[in-house]
Structure 1
């Protein structure tokens, strides 16, 4: 077993599909930003958290200075011409062992993320999946082995399936080095890979944001 010691949160992108003019991780839901919710959930689970910043980085720098002093900020000055995979690879520099990689636009049930991190200690690579709900989903195909382990066997944008790629995975610190395509394109090269289901919502569009707010209300009522 190899526990997850580091988390890398990609928060450098423009968030152009949402069109609010701020990093998506700085959206407030239920009185707190998505980024703060992620950091607060991750703090007891990993030894160190890196947040990759780029677009309007001053907003995230100010939040971290006020609320999350132990978080390491990593600048991606090429955020306009690079993608999430490149930001994540940049954020993982200086890390060693196993790293949890995740997007900054996710609202994740804390118990769900804790279970994922625990499960990740048992696998060299673990992919996060979630029931399909987002507008621009990358769907996953899976198969379940005789001993009950579920494996991701493929990614697709055209064939709707019950599960989608959650934009979360755990693996070695150099897992995305040199990748210029999407994160799932790198993972495709090593399929099949074990997966674990997360209870989350991704915020890419206005409709996604409305769904995330409903999801947050549900979580706070539990």
Structure 2
């Protein structure tokens, strides 16, 4: 068993699909930023948290200086020309053991992240899945045998499935270092992978944001 050493939150992107002109993690829902909510559920279960910044980084840096002085800020100055995988790899520098990688636009229940971190100790790589509900979901094809642990066997954007990729994965610090495209694409050569359910909501589009506003009242 290998405990999770730290979490890397990728928050460097432009958030262009939402189009609000700010990092998505800085959106306030019910008076609290998405980033603050994410840090609050993580800090009880992982020893360290790295937040990778790029687009309008001053907003996140100032916010963390005021409210989250325990997190480590990692800059990705190439955020306009690199992808989320590059930010995650950048954020994992200095970590030597298992890392929890997450997008910065997630709202997650504390109970499910606690369960995920516990399960992550048992596998070299653990993939996060959630009930399909996002507007632009990447669906996960899973094992159908209820007698067996949940396993991810493939990804698809075309064929609707009960579960979608949660943009959460635990593994070695260099897990997605060679990715040229999306993070999940770097995981395809490793399939099948053990998977664990997460109760979460991702914010990519205005429709997702409306769902998120309802979701926070349930966690």
Task: Assess same fold via TM > 0.5.
Answer: yes
Q: Deviations over 1:69-96 (max 9, x none)?
A: 1100000001111110111011111111
RMSD (Å), alpha carbons: 1.0
SS of 1:5's equivalent in the other structure is strand
Q: What is the alpha-carbon distance in structure 1 between the residues aligned to residue 145 and residue 189 of structure 2?
A: 20
d(CA) in 2 for partners of 1:27, 1:175 = 28
Unmatched 5+ residue regions in structure 2? none
Question: For 2:143, what is the secondary structure of its paired residue?
Answer: strand
Deviations 1:108-161 (A, max 9, x none): 011111111111111111000000000010000011557521110000011110
| Aligned counterpart, 1:19 | 19
Report 1:56-67 matches (<5 A).
Answer: 56-67=56-67
For residues 160-199 of structure 1, what are the structure 2 equivalents within 5 Å? 160-199=160-199
Correspondence for 2:159: 159
C-alpha separation in 2, matches of 1:218 and 1:97: 33
TM-score (norm 2): 0.98
Alignment match, 2:136? 136
TM-score scaled by length of structure 1: 0.96
Conserved 8 A contact 2:129-2:195: yes
Structure 2 residue 206 is the aligned partner of structure 1 residue 212: no
- 1:189 counterpart SS class: helix
Q: Which runs of 4+ in 1 moved over 4 A?
A: 144-147
1:49 aligns with 49
Going from structure 1 to structure 2, the CA distance change for 1:216 and 1:146 (only over 3 Å counts) comes to closer
Matched, 1:38 2:46: no
CA distance in 2, matches of 1:159, 1:178: 27
The 2-side partners of 1:14 and 1:42 are apart by: 23
* Cα distance in 2 between the residues matched to 1:144 and 1:119: 20
| 1:81 and 2:86 correspond | no
2-structure distance, mates of 1:33, 1:215: 14
**Residues in 1 aligned to 2:145 and 2:161: alpha-carbon distance in whole angstroms:** 18
CA distance in 1, matches of 2:214, 2:124: 34
Equivalent residues of 2:178, 2:186 under 8 A apart: no
- Equivalent-residue separation in structure 1 for 2:31 and 2:110 (angstroms): 16
Gaps of 5+ in 1: none
Match of 1:114 in 2: 114
Q: Distance in 1 between matches of 2:188 and 2:61?
A: 34
